[in-house]
Structure 1
Amino acid sequence: MKRFFSYLLVLLAMVQLTNAQNVQKDPQAERVLDAMSKKYQAMNAFKVAFTQTVESPSAKAKESISGDITVSGNKFRLAVAGQEIINNGATIWTFMKKENEVTISDNDPDEQELTPNQIYNLYKKGYRYMYAGEEKEGGEAVHVIDLTPNDRDNQVFKIRLHISKKDNSLKSWKMFRKNGNRYTYKVNKFTPNPPVTATTFAFDKTKYKGVKVVDLR
């Protein structure tokens, strides 16, 4: 699991930016972030279809993959790159479609660099943030917010959020790693309050004929 999140959603790091060193919590940025957080917290659940693009200047490579995630509180169901990750807050199932194998482990937030449902509240603990201006994304005006993690040992040095000026929704975010790699996540479709049940956030092995179960609990 930790390796997976490092690849897909690593969002913890430290930045060395002169302006950020002087601005701990920019009030303008905080107003935008609070409005975004409030929007998502007001929903019982939401579903996001996204595209992840990984750019590696050193290898002169660029790769994009698509996925979707359903979130409800601290629970989520994520499907991407032939994997399905299900977390009900206590247990995590990682299903590898090609291998027809599921690994079961206890949910330990301390062992995960980030869980997908944290992106909307990420700024609230362990981060500085500043307002970096306005841009256009898909013809829509967006606020640009830069997050600066406080942990100097982490390898991402900046997280840039694009937040809609119109409705406070998160349109995309980009992570800048010290090794030069860039990870961009673009929201393609957002569905508020999709129907979810207890089975949404659980793995039913009876639906996967011959699945190999690796229980690490």
Structure 2
Amino acid sequence: MKHVLFYLSMVIATLCAIPTQSYAQANAKQARAIMDKTAKVISKPGGISASFTMAHPTNGKISGTIAVKGNKFHAKTSAATVWFNGKTQWTYMKRNDEVNVSNPTLAQQQMMNPYTFVNIYKKGYTLSAKSEGANNVVHLVAQTKKQSIQEMYVTVNKKTSVPSKIKMKHSNKWYTITIGSLSSRKQPDSLFSFNSKDYPSAEVIDLR
């Protein structure tokens, strides 16, 4: 159970040496421009949905689906479901038939939603970019040790600006999230809040 919760808390890191300061500045601007385009694609007013696979260095992989609308998200795997409405998080564990309720901190929110890079790249990170075939890979490095995510790589398609992979470093370990079937569609606000009527037998544990 702990492994599944950890994975969902993740459902939700410069690729090369930069020889001169002027090149570094130009590369940083290019990287930010790439991220700005990607942020625009992901930050559709109605929201987006996608499939994902998260890989843990020791605990293997887990797959599921995620819907995102602003800072709200809903993630689901075969073992667990998470709702976050912008303030409150509900985590339902199928095996135990229980729901944990919490108010995550900003740092915890960053680790729960793989699309938080849409906001965190704008402040507190040094950016660079590298071309790899049909993709651009943007490298983010935290400017201080206070950031919960110290390093991140975001792989983005050059033509569509859609991200396909996010690799992040947290607590000296690397985690990889592969994204597929991303689509823009209107997501109802009700999707991001737990409805007890749908889980009548579940035990609700309030951790707030």
Q: Which residue of structure 2 lines up, in the alignment, with residue 84 of structure 1?
A: 81
Q: Which residue of structure 2 lines up, in the alignment, with residue 59 of structure 1?
A: none
Q: Which residue of structure 2 lines up, in the alignment, with residue 63 of structure 1?
A: 60
Structure (1 or 2) with the greater strand fraction: 1
Contact 2:8 2:75 in 1 (8 A): no
- What is the correspondence of 1:1-217 to structure 2 with a 5 Å cutoff? 4=5, 8-9=9-10, 19=18, 23=24, 26-56=28-58, 63-80=60-77, 82-109=79-106, 111-116=108-113, 117-131=115-129, 133-136=130-133, 141-152=134-145, 157-176=150-169, 179=172, 181-193=173-185, 195-217=186-208
- % of aligned pairs identical? 27
Q: What amino acid is the match of 1:42?
A: K
TM-score (ref. length: structure 2): 0.81
Contact 1:49 1:188 in 2 (8 A): yes
TM-score (ref. length: structure 1): 0.78
Contact 1:89 1:107 in 2 (8 A): no
Task: Name the SS for the 2:33 alignment partner.
Answer: helix
Structure (1 or 2) with the greater helix fraction: 2
How far off is 1:128 after superposition?
0.8
The answer for unaligned runs of 5 or more in structure 2 is none
**Deviation per residue, 1:86-111 (Å, 9 max, x gap):** 01112211111110000112344255
Q: What amino acid is the match of 2:76?
A: A
How far off is 1:67 after superposition?
1.4
How far off is 1:31 after superposition?
1.2
Say if 1:177 and 1:81 are closer, same or farther in 2 by CA, change over 3 A: farther
